[in-house]
Amino acid sequence: MNLAAFSPARVASRLVPALVLFSAAAQAVPQRPAVETFERTVPLASGGSFAISNVNGSIDIAGWDRDEVRISARKVTSGPVESLSAVRITVDVTSSSVSVATHYPESGSVEVNVEYRVRVPARVLLASVSTVNGAIDVQDVSGEGSLSTVNGNVTLARAAGLFSARSTNGGISLEFLSLSGGLDSAPHSSAHAALLAQTTNGSVAVALPAAAGAELDAETRNGDFFSELPLLARTASAGRSIQGRIGSGGPLLQLRTVNGSIRLQISRPLV
């Protein structure tokens, strides 16, 4: 037997590469993101005002048949766990309004995403729903509101009333079961009511009931225009800019994009 084959020096020389490989494999295992949740329910009467502001993360809002707001948030980071506590969520409540805000440290040195899931009274004023990096999804509400993001899509489904949407890098899709249903008792007229959908890089799609009426002002620089709804055009420019009347007229429908198409569709509610 060759005892030299089992010398400590030779065994050590074989162990060192094995330890290096084990260490590299351990470092290659991805670290699980750290998560912190936030839950709060507060009262808000039907027709009350709700606002929410975010920075990094999506906002999902749905209407329900309760006179209260339920806020569920999920803070996520792949960095230090301490980053989660550096991002604060505040909820301000009055007799007629609820306001939610996401506060990042002024240094801006934390990488934390905050994803919101919110339930609001079905009849509501969405005074301001905004984020910077994330999508906005709203459904089953009636009233009025403003939805805006910089990088992300804006989607509104099964809505009644007048809601406006803005994005810079993202598409906009709005589905209305009715353009009436605003928060004031008087019917909307084109003189004081408007629906705006505007983006820079993305398409705009608006679905309205077949019998809907509105005044249309649509423009796209690099895209086309198409309408399933009956449209009496007053002015048009090579399919890029069009003004006219939908049906018997009504509130102003202003649609804008730079790079993308514009589509007017007939909403087809599920039965």
CA 210 – CA 217 distance, rounded (Å): 18
pLDDT at site 193: 64
24-32 average pLDDT score: 54
In eight-state DSSP terms, residue 179 is: S
| Residue 225 burial by Cβ neighbours in a 10 Å radius (0-12, 13-18, 19+) | buried
Residue indicated by tokens 């009262």 = 43
125-147 average pLDDT score: 97
The token duo for 128 is 């301001």
Asked if residue 168 has pLDDT above 50, the reply is yes
pLDDT at site 140: 97
pLDDT at site 192: 46
Closest CA to 156 of 214, 102, 197: 197
CA 162 – CA 216 distance, rounded (Å): 14
102-127 average pLDDT score: 93
Asked if residue 14 has pLDDT above 80, the reply is no
pLDDT at site 237: 64
Tell which wins on pLDDT, 271 or 255.
255
Confidence of residue 233 (pLDDT cuts 50, 70, 90): confident
pLDDT at site 148: 97
pLDDT-above-70 percentage for the chain? 81
The token duo for 54 is 């975010």
pLDDT at site 22: 44
pLDDT at site 43: 98
Q: What is the pLDDT of residues 44-103, one digit of tens each?
A: 999 999 999 999 999 999 999 999 999 999 999 998 898 999 999 999 999 999 999 999
Asked if residue 197 has pLDDT above 80, the reply is yes
CA 167 – CA 21 distance, rounded (Å): 48
Asked if residue 146 has pLDDT above 60, the reply is yes
pLDDT at site 196: 94
pTM: 0.84
The sign of the dihedral angle between the CA atoms of 249, 253, 258, 263 is: negative
